Amino acid sequence: MGTYKDLTTWQKAYTFTLSVYEITRNYPKEELFGLVSQMRRAASSIPVNIAEGSMRRSKKEFRRFIRIAQGSMAEMEVWIKLSFDLKYINKESFNQISFECDEVGKLLEGLARSLKQD
């Protein structure tokens, strides 16, 4: 097995994080320490937890970190909807970031399932 960087789940999660940073770049200044900070923290915790979990000594521990990443993904779903409802992002950006969010969510679920097998 390679490193966490070889995992498609990590790669997509990392790209998703970059997308979140990009869309939040134009949020109102008053959201810098609120919504922007929360979104960036939650998004970045997804690939970070995949990386950290992959370095653990057991599948059980790795699976625990994947579950934490899934919690951050659920948090992102709410932040994305809130951003759209507050009109901080347009429909096109909402659709794109929601698609990426769903894709990473499915990959995380698949990775979690694969770690249960043995």
State the pLDDT confidence band at 2, using cuts at 50, 70 and 90.
confident
Domain that holds residue 69: 4-22+29-116
Residue predicted with more confidence, 90 or 57: 90
For the four alpha carbons of 108, 115, 110 and 51, in that order, the dihedral sign comes to positive
Query: What is the reported pLDDT for 79?
Result: 98
Q: Which tens digits make up the pLDDT trace of 10-69?
A: 999 999 999 999 999 999 999 999 999 999 999 999 999 999 999 988 999 999 999 999
Angle between helices 8-24 and 91-116 (to 10 degrees): 150
CATH of the domain at 96: 1.20.1440.60
Q: Where are the beta strands (DSSP E) in 1-118?
A: none
Q: How far apart are CA 73 and CA 68, in angstroms?
A: 9
Q: How far is CA 31 from CA 26, 55, 87, 117, in A?
A: 10, 35, 13, 43
Q: What is the pLDDT of residue 43?
A: 98
Instruction: Provide the domain count of the chain.
Output: 1
The residue among 58, 56, 72 whose CA lies nearest residue 115 is 58
pLDDT, residue 57, reads: 82
Say how far apart CA 97 and CA 23 lie, in whole Å.
9
Amino acid at position 8, single letter: T
Is residue 117 predicted with pLDDT exceeding 70? no
pLDDT over threshold 60, residue 118: no
Q: What is the pLDDT of residue 1?
A: 58
